[in-house]
Amino acid sequence: MKEPFVSILMGSDSDFPIMESTVEVLEAFDVRYELRVRSAHRTPEATGEYVRNAVDRGCALFIAAAGMAAHLAGSVAAMTVRPVIGVPIDAGPLRGEDALLSTVQMPGGIPVASVAIGKAGAKNAGYLAVQILSLSHPDLAAALAAERERNAAAILERSDRLQEKLADRTKS
């Protein structure tokens, strides 16, 4: 059986500083991925060829990031029934709102799961990908749950420290 992988597509290499957050999440969970620059507008033929080939090679889902008139995620979704997560990138004078609407406003029947604009969205695209894979990989589900517990404990600990600091202030 082919080992499933996640494909990350970016409309430009200038999107990488944001999409590095997706890569970091996938690497933290040991999820196999490949990353390519492919554009809906600038390389339409190469994008189609890549998507079809990736599916044949075992791609489980796509993450597509683009800025401005961001049609990459939608055009990938048009070519496959694999899940597609779209990441709107802040790359122009409209600060990503153009990309958000272009990514999220898909016509019925061809869904794109759009995340938030920018780094938080890129990070969540990684987590969402791991969550989708975890449906058939219980080890990933356990790793996700363990990470959430660690994060919750760290937040409560930071709250306790802040509380102590404030208590010290009122004493002095």
Can you give the binding site for ligand RP5, defined by CB under 6 A? 11-12, 14-15, 39, 66-68, 89, 91
Strand 113-114 to strand 59-67: parallel, antiparallel, or no bridges (unpaired)?
unpaired
2-to-54, 73, 91 alpha-carbon distances in Å = 11, 24, 36
SS3 content of the chain, % helix, strand, coil (to 5): 55, 15, 30
> For residue 82, what is the DSSP state?
S
Nearer to ligand RP5, 12 or 80 (CB): 12
Q: How far is the CB of 55 from ligand RP5 (least distance, A)?
A: 22
Nearer to ligand RP5, 68 or 133 (CB): 68
Q: How far is the CB of 13 from ligand RP5 (least distance, A)?
A: 7
CA 37, 43, 47, 49 torsion-angle sign: negative
Q: How far is the CB of 111 from ligand RP5 (least distance, A)?
A: 20
Nearer to ligand RP5, 25 or 70 (CB): 70
